[in-house]
Copies of this chain bind each other. A is one copy, B any other.
């Protein structure tokens, strides 16, 4: 009597959530301080002070009916204006508020965009390793996932992307700063990708869309995060305030369709239609207004940077091989044995909870989320050292 695919998705959970729940059980068993849970990308720094200040101000000043009632489906007009103003000012692109659609966070930004775009037989290119839910979202929207491996340094492999673009390619899904690698794509890389796509569009007489999944935009440690809309016209930005404002549970983000996108207005209508069909109605009203007041802000990035430095230096000194992350809050570490799941399993003996890379579409790595307390990292170091020793590093 039940949809089997949905049941399977619910029973399997994501690997990340699975480890997170295991961690909670271990914490109950051996004490919170003795478990080193690096599984989840849940921000570990408080929201900027303006967030709670703005919540209290709105609740005190705005009439309840206006504050907590429905907004327009695409968002409150003044909020959409504020987002468009911010995008214009920060990135120099001619964004207008009528192409901004407020969403219930990054996942909603993606599912709404994918459902708006996807027609039967459509292919969506993802760069492996990639956030595992991409596959869930693309397949439920009716699309086919086409995995293109990143190059050896986890940067864009343009030749491989070019080979993967076919007449059935609807879009390429990019994520920079990247989850799980922490890589930030350079302006040169992205400009080359844009040129490649413009060439393929002409050759195939079609329009490949770039979907830019940007929950980590503000989380960088110096690297520039070029704005894709400024480099390629057919761009849809899927944004979330979850990580920048440490509001992951509040579900607030937006979709911005580039005014230069082919059929931008029709695509925006399809975004509204998809939001309606999936049951979103409108993005949470209070947090729409809070987010609009905190555009461009972020939590304490220095805390994340310090975590990264402490962990990266320790891990490499123990003999592990780890690419230095330029953004987001993940380290992508090479597994000292080919089977990353076996390695992650062995790490559990030391109460180290790492996510094997298999579900991200590559083998042989683990993702380490360093959005944890400094103390957790410090206390975990002897465990990592012992684990390295076990592998003779």
Contact = CB atoms under 8 A, between A and B. Distances in A.
A136 B276 contact: yes
A270 B13 CA distance: 11
A282 B105 CA distance: 10
A246 B66 CA distance: 10
A266 B115 contact: no
A2 interface: yes
A251 interface: yes
Interface string A192-213: 0000000000000011010000
Interface stretch (A106-114, A172-180, A330-338, A356-364): A106-114
A314 interface: no
A118 B4 CA distance: 9
B3 A249 contact: no
A163 to B, nearest CB: 22
Given A46-B64, A59-B56, A105-B281, A273 B11 contact: yes
Interface stretch (A47-55, A144-152, A223-231, A384-392): A47-55
What copy number does this chain have within its complex?
2
A1 B206 contact: yes
A301 interface: no
Contacts of A1: 117, 170, 206-207, 209, 262-263, 267
A40 B115 CA distance: 27
Which of A116, A209, A250, A285: most chain B Cβ within 10 A?
A: A250
Nearest to A171: B1
A222 interface: no
A6 B85 CA distance: 27
A106 to B, nearest CB: 8
B7 A266 contact: yes
Nearest to A73: B17
Contacts of A315: none
Interface string A24-63: 0000000000000000101111110001100110011001
Given A1-B262, A63-B46, A280-B107, A68 B247 contact: yes
Nearest to A67: B249
A280 B133 contact: no
B246 A70 contact: no
Contact of A249 (B137, B270, B285): B285
Nearest to A105: B281
Range, interface on chain A: 35 or more
A393 interface: no
A278 interface: yes
A48 B211 CA distance: 41
Which of A52, A68, A107, A271: most chain B Cβ within 10 A?
A: A68
A349 interface: no
A274 interface: yes
Given A10-B271, A44-B65, A68-B248, A280 B108 contact: yes
Contacts of A133: 276
Contacts of A59: 52, 55-56
B56 A70 contact: no
Interface in A64-85: 64-65, 67-73
B267 A68 contact: no
A388 to B, nearest CB: 30
Given A279-B112, A281-B251, A246 B65 contact: yes
A265 to B, nearest CB: 9
Interface of A: 1-11, 13-14, 17, 21, 40, 42-47, 51-52, 55-56, 59-60, 63-65, 67-73, 104-105, 107-112, 115-119, 133, 136-137, 140, 170, 206-207, 209, 246-251, 262-263, 266-274, 276-287
Q: What are the nearest 3 A-B pairs in CB distance?
A: A249-B285, A9-B273, A111-B279
